[in-house]
Amino acid sequence: MRNTYPVGRLMMLMLLLSTTLFVKAQTDLITNAPARDGLSLDGKWQYIVDPYETGFYDYRYKERAQDDKEAYWNTDVQANKLDRKEHGFIDKYTLNVPGDWNAQDPKFLYYEGTIWYKKKFDYTRKVAANQVYLYFGAANYQADVYLNGVKLGMHKGGFTPFNFHVPDSVLRAKDNNLVVKVDDKRHAAEIPTLNTDWWNHGGITRSVRLIEMPAKAAIRDYTLQLSANGNTVEGWVKLDNAANGEKVTVAIPELNISQTFIAQQNKAVVHFPLPATAQRWSPEHPKLYTSVISTATNRVEERIGFRTIAVNGKQLLLNGKPLFLRGISIHGEIPQEQRRAYSPEDAAMLLGWAKELGCNMVRLAHYPHDESMTRLADSLGLLVWSEIPVYWTIDFTSEAVLQKAKQQLHEMITRDRNRASIIIWSVGNETPVSPVRTNFMRTLLETAKQTDATRLVAAALEVNYHSKEDLRSIDDPLGEYVDIVAFNEYLGWYSGTPASCRTVQWATKYNKPLFISETGAEALGGMHADSLTLWSEEFQEWYYKEQVAMLKRMPDNFVGISPWVLADFRSPRRNNPVYQEGWNNKGLIDQKGNKKKAFYVLKEYYEGKK
């Protein structure tokens, strides 16, 4: 009988199968990785630049066999004088991990492709029977991970964590050979896609560590959240290899709380009253409580804040009280060093600037930032909008692309669901309106709600700021599914002059809070002229003055703004040879870390909104 199965459907089935296998290749994410027992693998790693991917494919462009001696994941040491080796890792060529390769050597500035990393280490388990996992904070974009010649797995996604189980037969006490192939080439069917407005920083950009956990009743994941009514702590604890009836204890010593719960099928549901005397987390009082989760074999400790976030009609409510978001958008970059941000010190600088600006909120765009950012935001009392890189025009028709977006969304939420600072999960930025796009984005919003129902969901919508109408209404059909209607507007920069703001009114047909997720104008730091001179600090200052005047006329459902952007950042799209030279200069802080004049305009506005 002739096979009449449509070719298109067969290809889609193959894509879905490959996506499913890709997801299953990873071990479920371990949360609170920094607090786990193990070993940091940060530091100097040897590398090989491999633009032709010779270490992965043979000369017929077939993937090399696992035991192929020319595969770069296998030993580079000659067995004898006649053993031909055409690859080698040596200390002459090293890169810092964490860190992007683009900033570490001028030859890598524009490099997009494959680099192989190698790290030698010794490791002895604390308990011989314990399980060991290899955890990556992030690697951009595709990481293939090999230990002692055995492939542990592959991960796609440049900004979210992943981990793999290390089989007992693979890990050695001495001279472990860890090799990671990192490929940051851009592709149309990936998240993000080919076209973005930021630098494609390649490499192992966040910390790497071994994590050791008990073989029985290990705590893999958990969440503790304040219920919507603000009276109880609700959540769950997921265990590995736990017998039914396993006891899980949740304790908050400062509040004299210790409750024991019974696990069934490796999960314990948590529910207990929070004393009325417990302090709710807020920007003014970012109270965190040491929370201890334990089983008979495992103990995990974390600082967690308890608060509620909700929408009531046109109002945004934190702990039941109206909230105005004095925000700023941030890229995860350090402009003075032209590199990806990755450390607690980097987070302290970026969020310190935001606090100095008078912010109570930051939009971490356009991808999940390093975990040090969200942890420090908890301590500083900065509310957070966290986002996956569904950016501009991806392939909204592709089920495989949707699955990749869902995977990144799941990894973002899993890592940070215990951060009180995060109030909004965002599923994308400036996606063009169409029925297929709206269905794609709606699915992501629903997925976010199903994964974590305690927070708000949103997306940064694009609006028509070229219109000559005085009343601009936000009517994107995605507004029906978000909790707050957020939009990006650049009236006075991409259309007209800042004076164009003087008669404009903004509104939305949805009875929901209205939020400006971006606005801004470029200025080359240190360039001064009159306010009518484009690219000058004075023009940017004028832009912000007109924006602030417009903000004072916003409707009663206006709940805040996060202008674009805190600091200048690198972008290959920005090629004016005088005023940009590969920089997006919309920052309120310039390439050298100096504050521009517009910084003080926004700061004054925020001081009046406290």
Residue range 264-288, pLDDT digits in tens? 999 999 999 999 999 999 999 999 9
Mean pLDDT of the 579-599 span: 98
Mean of all residue pLDDT scores within the chain:
95
Mean pLDDT of the 407-425 span: 98
Residue 11: the pLDDT is 40
- Residue bearing the bigger pLDDT, 370 or 468: 370
Q: In order of start, what are the domains of the chain with their CATH numbers? A: 7-213 (2.60.120.260), 218-297 (2.60.40.10), 320-608 (3.20.20.80)
30-77 pLDDT, tens digit per residue, is 999 999 999 999 999 999 999 999 999 999 999 999 999 999 999 999
- Residue bearing the bigger pLDDT, 153 or 5: 153
Mean pLDDT of the 575-594 span: 98
Mean pLDDT of the 243-269 span: 98
Helices then strands, each counted (H, E), the chain: 7, 34
Residue 27: the pLDDT is 81
Secondary structure of 74-139 in HEC code, one letter for each residue? CCCCCCCCCCCCCCCCCCCCEEEECCCCCCCCHHHCCCCCEEEEEEEECCCCCCCCCEEEEEECCC
pLDDT at 556 over 60: yes
Residue 309 corresponds to which tokens in the numbers above?
Answer: 């976030």
Residue 50: the pLDDT is 98
- Percent residues over pLDDT 70 in the chain: 95
User: φ, ψ for residue 303 (rounded to 5)?
Assistant: -90, 120
Residue 5: the pLDDT is 33
Query: What is the rounded distance in angstroms from the CA atom of residue 182 to the CA atom of residue 176?
Result: 19
pLDDT at 22 over 50: no
DSSP, collapsed to helix, strand or coil, labels residue 548 as: helix
DSSP, collapsed to helix, strand or coil, labels residue 187 as: coil
pLDDT at 4 over 50: no
352 contacts: CB under 8 Å, gap ≥ 6:
none
DSSP secondary-structure letter at 358? Answer: T
Mean pLDDT of the 164-193 span: 98
Mean pLDDT of the 179-205 span: 98
**Quick one: which of 570, 47, 93 has its CA closest to 340?**
570
- Percent residues over pLDDT 90 in the chain: 94
What distances in angstroms separate CA 34 from CA 111, 216, 588, one per listed residue? 31, 21, 32
Query: What is the rounded distance in angstroms from the CA atom of residue 408 to the CA atom of residue 389?
Result: 9
200 contacts: CB under 8 Å, gap ≥ 6:
102, 112, 140, 184, 186, 572
pLDDT at 561 over 80: yes
Concatenate the DSSP letters of all residues of 368-393 into one string. ---HHHHHHHHHHT-EEEEE---BSS
Mean pLDDT of the 87-98 span: 98
316-357 pLDDT, tens digit per residue, is 999 999 999 999 999 999 999 999 999 999 999 999 999 999
User: φ, ψ for residue 597 (rounded to 5)?
Assistant: -60, -35
Distance of CA 5 to the CA centre of its chain: 40
Note if the bond before 51 is cis, omega within 30 degrees.
no
Note if the bond before 481 is cis, omega within 30 degrees.
no
Mean pLDDT of the 494-517 span: 96
Q: Work out whether strand 131-136 and strand 162-166 pair parallel, antiparallel, or are unpaired.
A: antiparallel
Residue 78: the pLDDT is 93
Note if the bond before 485 is cis, omega within 30 degrees.
no
Lowest mean pLDDT among 4-13, 175-184, 512-521: 4-13
Residue 172: the pLDDT is 97
Residue 26: the pLDDT is 61
Query: What is the rounded distance in angstroms from the CA atom of residue 377 to the CA atom of residue 348?
Result: 9
What distances in angstroms separate CA 390 from CA 113, 193, 461, 586, one per listed residue? 22, 8, 12, 21
Q: What is the pTM of this model?
A: 0.95
pLDDT at 2 over 90: no
